[in-house]
Structure 1
Amino acid sequence: MDITSDTHSQHISRQFNNELEELKTHLMAMGGLVEKQVQDAVSALLDSDSSLAERVVDNDRAVNDMQIKIDDECTRVLARRQPAASDLRLVLAVIRAASDLERIGDEASKIARNALELIDSNNGTRGFVEVRNISEHVRHMVRDALTSFARFDTELAMEVVQEDERVDSEYQSAMRALMTFMMEDARSISSVLGVMWILRALERIGDHANNLAEYVIYLVKGLDIRHTDPEDLDHDAITGPRNGNKA
């Protein structure tokens, strides 16, 4: 049975309904914080804002604390309610999503730490255009993945999965360009390596956003597509019929 946004509001126990809604609410709150962490980390680099980068690093603990809280809530639901079918899929999807959000927070912290080193070295802005472009893509992926989770929207989730392919292609092109630049100017190696680490972190953020989208498809359709090439996916089985919340 497919799940819609109304599926988890039909239990006899109002308390159980509330517990499931709180899981989603807390996950969305964590997602909002993580999304801001990514935005601030990139802005710190592009604007040479050391204080902003330091705040991103400091806020990583808050992200970790939110994951622990969500995991504890999921554990209590599993122990008290012993959910089955769609309810169990929701709890499992929340646990997995919180883990990926925590990893996105880690990558944002890596970007901020590398930004601090690049700001201190003041060795130019080579590769910043690539950082800006790829960061915009992955930030939209994170936002759309979270929106698809909130709405149980498999169509939007599939768009995130497809976008990950484009981000990977952009990342590879950017890395080739920066490798060429380092070979032409050995003095740039240190600073360009820092930018390459940032691009790697952004690419990983895209991968985690892709994971979030895959969890939505698992949650709504019961399909595990984690090891399936996007070109081999049955789009009609995943996205149609349109989700009930979009009727």
Structure 2
Amino acid sequence: MGSAAPAAGSLRARYLVYFQYRGTDFNGVVAVRGAQRAVGAVGVQNFLEEAAERLNPVVPIKFTISSRTDAGVHALSNAAHMDVQRRADQLPLSPEVMTKALNTHLKHPAIRVLQTFRVPGDFHARHAATSRTYLYRLATGCPTYNQLSVFERDRCWALRAERLRFWNMEFESQSFLYRQVRRMTAVLVAVGLGALTPAQVKAILESRDPMGWSQTCMAPAQGLFLKSVLYGSLAEWNPASTQEENQGFQGQGSHRSNQRLEARA
């Protein structure tokens, strides 16, 4: 998102905001505008921007989201940048005060701001990201969805198998293709269940068919979490790693896939 010149008599400060959310109640992270909003669809960004407007900025505040997530997908830590313009007689808010203020004004309990940084005026939350990590959670050994613990519903993909066991799969890359993680997960699960062989997976990849099996079948949204978005010198600090929510995701059978695929339009 390009930034307009500061309004006359105002000072502009750009912030990088890390935030988390439980995606069950949202139509994705991106704001819903116009007619869709009128019929009840809402994005996480809508609530973030409404909270930011309570700061009484000179011009409306818009969040530029680092990583888009679909309806039902969660985030242990997503990121966005925003420009805040205040009157010339008002100093920019400190990152600590900004974090507290946004959390105070957030009107949905499934969203929380983790931490805020002051960044240069040309910083871009999406383009500057050096690494994104997604986590997909599977539960095996659950005959029916209703037998899954109420604390795990809408937070994993429940599959039938011999015994109850939780599996974590992590995928890290600078960027991802549209729904790539859900498609890769579906293929891996199909191999595990015997519906696909490794040779068939190889053939799928080599076919490059946009309507192939991996393009039309994908894992459900509720098992997917955006775990972290990292930025150069900030890469050593992972907001999600310090959160209690992340502690419950250290299950057995962890599989890590290091992808180096550039997203294309």
Shorter-chain TM range is under 0.3
More strand by share: 2
TM-score by length of 1: 0.27
**Higher relative contact order at CA 8 Å, sep ≥6: structure 1 or structure 2?**
1
